[in-house]
Amino acid sequence: MALSSTLNLIKPLLILFLLHLPSHNSSYLEYSDALSRSILFFEGQRSGYLPNDQRIVWRSNSGLGDGWEVSADLTGGYYDAGDNVKFGFPMAFTATMLAWSVIEFGDSMPAGELRNALVAIRWATDYLLKTVSQLPNRIFVQVGDPIKDHSCWERPEDMDTARTVYTVEAPNTASDVAGETAAALAASSIAFRSSDPAYSETLLRTAVKAFEFADTYRGAYSDNSDIRDGDELLWGAAWLRRASQDDSYLNYIQNNGKTLGADDNINEFGWDNKHAGLNVLVSKEVLEGNMYSLQSYKASADSFMCTLTPDSDSSHIEYTPGGLIYRPGGSNLQHATIISFLLLVYANYLQRSSQSVSCGNINLGPTMLRQMAKRQVDYILGENPKGMSYMVGYSNYYPQRIHHRGSSLPSIKDHPQMIGCKEGSVYFNSSDPNPNVLVGAIVGGPGEDDAYDDNREDFRKSEPTTYINAPFVGVLAYFVANPNPS
């Protein structure tokens, strides 16, 4: 056998071996290792035709007929969590946060991991381009029936549930999904600007069209009454402003802020609420561009930072006894990773403009914000009361029974026979560790008392999601270059 063929055969095994090496506390190697794994995770969430260089080798092709019922190619993209549905809203947010991670912290990434991060972004944006390919009158927002999918426990390679395509036709509304898609494409256009200018231009041009749909037909697609669309419109406009430097988007943010709820000063950020992230993003225009007409956004960003500080008079965030940011509702680590990201981004903006945040009784400088973020990162990676890493495959003690279909069922490589919808229940109910390690996955995490039972059934704690990992990529990249911030 030729040497090159032999190397090709052992390469996947070598990668997995290296990924299982133990890490070391508070060192460059620790954060670098975690960064590599956090990006690798996205390969385990892929839908569609998998490439020859796929590193999560227990996965295979899936969802190859997605879109056929509407005569469209909707293959590709990501399953956002432990199920087999492709939700456009959280997937677009995942792409936005991966792109923002590269924009702010790509210079801190080792060259190979920067390439991997761009590959992870493109797997999402290639799909998102398909979802808006029939604008100006139609957008695809979801593939897969969640009720039918969630009634089954089967591998994505086996799924035989309905791959229903959810479509929004004008003048019906989808400002939330379309606005986030515009943000994702615009942010990604910045991330690809130097490495692939033509692709970058395609992303930006399509982002403009997606935003026009979102703004023309205002209103949320989602049935969830807690989800509004105004923040996504401002968020999309803010990213188009940053990507294009077009003053029309600056004017949009200035003139529509009050109407679209920017003054609500909601201290939340996630796939379904953009307020705190929007305020931090727009604050760059104030701090570094002297756009004082946007001062209200900076004031809201300052207020948000103060709420995170236990010693501040305006603090109102909850922490677990072990020091983890906690918000009720499940999947808590999404808050810890994304707030850590905002802390680091705002710290950079403040440092470059030589400013701090006044919280009444204390001043917050960049160093304090970074130290707050580091506490969250180190907790997630193992410095917590349980001594457990909440990133799968990192260190020697991590969750073994995550709520994830592909991870918990035998790989199609080892068990090529189909495992049907209900046949997978025996694996779901098993107390055995998952047979396939979803390296880099960050689970929902412990409760308000720092307790974590390694239980597959408890999806609020044991299910990983792409939008938990995406901001953590940027956070880890910062600490690779700055393991002890000052």
Q: What is the 3-state secondary structure (H, E, C) of 141-163?
A: EEECCHHHHHCCCCCCCCCCCCC
- Model confidence over 3-28: pLDDT tens digits? 333 334 433 333 343 333 333 344 44
* Measured CA angle at 435 (ends 429, 439), to 5 deg: 115
Run of H or E including 86: strand 86-87
Query: What's the confidence (pLDDT) of residue 228?
Result: 61
Q: Tokens in use for 472?
A: 């953590």
- So what's the pLDDT on residue 265? 66
479: helix, strand or coil? helix
Q: Could you tell me the end-to-end alpha-carbon distance of the chain, in angstroms, rounded to an integer? A: 54
- Is residue 161 within 8 Å of 140, Cβ to Cβ? no
Number of Cβ within a 10 Å radius of residue 218: 14
In what helix (H) or strand (E) does residue 366 lie, and over which residues does it extend? helix 366-381
The predicted-structure confidence for 251-302, as pLDDT tens digits, reads as follows 999 998 877 877 776 778 899 899 999 999 999 999 998 888 999 999 999 9
Six token digits for residue 377: 């990162």
Q: Residues in the chain with pLDDT < 50?
A: 1-29, 225-227
Instruction: Using alpha carbons, select from 340, 335, 418 the residue that is nearest to residue 377.
Output: 340
Contact 181, 274 (CB under 8 A): no
Q: Could you tell me the two tokens for 151?
A: 């009634």
Element (H, E) at 336: helix 333-352
- Set 158, 231, 302, 463: catalytic member: 463
Nearest CA among 330, 320, 321, 446 for reference residue 389? 446
What's at 18, amino acid-wise?
L
Establish whether 463 is a catalytic residue: yes
Peptide bond preceding 22 in cis form (omega within 30 of 0):
no
DSSP, collapsed to helix, strand or coil, labels residue 319 as strand
Distance separating alpha carbons of residues 184 and 125, to the nearest angstrom: 8
Catalytic residue list contains 33: no
CA angle centred on 108, ends 102 and 114, rounded to 5°: 50
In this structure, how many other beta carbons lie within 10 angstroms of the beta carbon of residue 51?
11
What domains does the chain contain, in order, with CATH numbers?
A: 31-481 (1.50.10.10)
Selection from 123, 143, 141, 120 nearest residue 132 by Cα: 141
Q: What is the DSSP letter of 270?
A: B
Q: List the catalytic residue out of 126, 423, 454, 458.
A: 454
Catalytic, out of 104, 113, 229, 403: 403
pLDDT of residue 268: 87
DSSP 8-state code for residue 294? G
Q: Does 454 qualify as catalytic in the annotation?
A: yes
